Amino acid sequence: MKRILSVLLVFLMAAPLLAQENYKTLSKEDSLKIYNGASTYDVKSYSATFKKQKPKNIILMIGDGMGTAQVFAGITANGGHLFLDNFKHVGFSKTQSASDYVTDSAAGGTALAAGYKTYNGAIGVDKDTIAHPSVLEKAEEKGLATGLVSTSAITHATPASFIAHQPSRSMYEEIAADFMNTDIDVFIGGGYKHFTERKDGRNLVNELESKGYTVLQDMNKIEKVKKGKLAGLTAYEHNGRAPERDGMLPKATDKAISLLKNNKDGFFLMVEGSQIDWGGHQNNTIYIVEEVLDFDQSIGKALEFAAKDKETLIIVTADHETGGLGINKGNINKQNVKGGYTTGSHTAVMVPVFAFGPGAENFTGIMENTDIPKRISELLGL
């Protein structure tokens, strides 16, 4: 009975969040289901030659809500190629949570971060609300540099799963406070209000500065930081859509790598393209495609580094698919694509896993989402 009451309490706490997240409002305009092409970008091919069989650094990149249809919509929109073309080791991840056949981003993020299944809504805790360290926290404990980058609030479900331990994803202020319990080197994303406008009266920006962090809100200033710990809080809550962000995600990915690479023992970085999911919730093909292309250009920044460094493994996957996207019509030469949808929510289908770098062969075939952090931990000796 206590267990039932505990889980019920968690879901009641999460209920206001589900009602307030306006990106989950379904779009009604049929025109939004058709992406009619726009400017494209060049995709470079990189040599897959590496120094050793195991990586020194790992970059985990999560396209929230990104299934195979979302990937191919991006391929079509960019004229037939993405930076993902460089990833020759490909597999699939099963995404079910401990409580539901269809996971949410909190349980999906926790599975990718810490290697265990939990109930929908949980952040860094198991089905009995017991906290376990994430791969980021284990990397930090071993002396590696660590970082998080996201286009959502940095306290949102996926990035939170790597650094926080709370029974409900709706506990944004508690999640922000959990950042103070770590020595993460770099984090860039939205959520400024969760650090400053708090019920407990704490100003976590002041606390971060007292711990030696440079805290900035302007991406142009963030790009100029050359060393030290960095907290980039780039939006009051969530960052805007890709056309409004002026390349924030590729720039933040590049900046995080440039700071983390200075650690002689290596680094672990998680980068999330949050809003592919939001386009899926809205059944908005234009939104999805713009976010996939933005995420892919961030992958391009990681690839540019990894190809030169030759000691870095990049893993690209998703926490789940969103929207039940099907591609009903399109033209690669004209870069247009028409999407069809089965739902405004998540689906239970497997999602792709792509890997490039030393150890990439460990991420092929069909696997559980929990296998991904376990294999990361093995490769980094965590």
pLDDT digits (tens, 9 = 90+) for 255-303: 999 999 999 999 999 999 999 999 999 999 999 999 999 999 999 999 9
Q: Is the pLDDT of residue 200 over 80?
A: yes
Catalytic machinery residues? 105
Report the distance separating Cα 51 and Cα 312, nearest Å: 10
Written as six digits, the tokens of 12 are: 């009641």
319-361: per-residue pLDDT in tens?
999 999 999 999 999 999 999 999 999 999 999 999 999 999 9
d(CA 103, CA 236): 27
| Sheet strands side by side (includes 336-340) | 34-35, 336-340, 326-331
* Angle, CA 175 vertex, CA 172 and CA 179 arms, to 5°: 135
Asked if 297 contacts 342 with a C-beta cutoff of 8 angstroms, the reply is: no
pTM for the structure as a whole: 0.93
